[in-house]
Structure 1
Amino acid sequence: MKELFPAKQVLGFVFSLLLTVAALAVYFIDMSNGAGITILVITAFTQALLQLVVFMHAGETSDKKAIYTTVYFGVFIVIASIFGTLITMIWGY
């Protein structure tokens, strides 16, 4: 019976709910903008990684190296776009 119970998925779901509660706490708790954005970014990336690994089974295929390389490249593009936008529009370079 133990092999029929999806313990990994249930724990992933519970952890996903906890990350959502942490993100909602930023809205309801009065904190500075910097701290709130930091918590939101950390919970967002953690939840995205959790969804990818647990529910989309990214690490269970034979081409997991290609999948993780694509994810790392996507994160690099996102970070480069964000900092490029900040440099151009806010910091004036």
Structure 2
Amino acid sequence: MSELFPRKQIVGFVFSLILTAAALAVYFLDLSFAAGMTVLLITAFVQALLQLVVFMHAGETEDKWSIYGNVYFMMAIALVTIFGSLLIFLWDM
């Protein structure tokens, strides 16, 4: 019967709630802009990976490395887009 209990999903859900509380704490603790953005970016990426692995079952297929490769590629494209936009709009390069 214990193999039918969704332990992995419950732990993932609790960890999601903890990450959400950490992100919400940025608002209530009135952190500086740099510290707040750092906390928000870290919690956002960890939350996205947690959702992908635990709730979308990305690691449970035979082709899991191509799924993770696509995630890494997506993150690289997102970072290039974000920093490229910052270079153009904020830093006038």
The TM-score, its normalising length taken from structure 2, stands at 0.97
The 3-state SS of whatever aligns with 2:12 is: helix
Once the two structures are superposed, residues 17-58 of structure 1 have per-residue CA deviations (whole angstroms, 9 ceiling, x without a partner) of: 000000010111111000000000000000000000000000
Q: Which runs of 4+ in 1 moved over 4 A?
A: none
Question: Distance in 2 between the 1:30 and 1:47 partners?
Answer: 22
Residue 74 of structure 2 corresponds to residue 74 of structure 1: yes
% identity of equivalent residues: 65
Match of 1:37 in 2: 37
Once the two structures are superposed, residues 40-81 of structure 1 have per-residue CA deviations (whole angstroms, 9 ceiling, x without a partner) of: 000000000000000000000011111011100000000000
Read off the aligned partner of 2:87 and give its amino acid letter: I
Read off the aligned partner of 1:7 and give its amino acid letter: R
Match of 1:89 in 2: 89
Residue 18 of structure 2 corresponds to residue 18 of structure 1: yes
The TM-score, its normalising length taken from structure 1, stands at 0.97
Where do 5+ consecutive residues of structure 2 fail to align?
none
Match of 1:6 in 2: 6
RMSD, matched Cα: 0.6
Aligned residues: 93
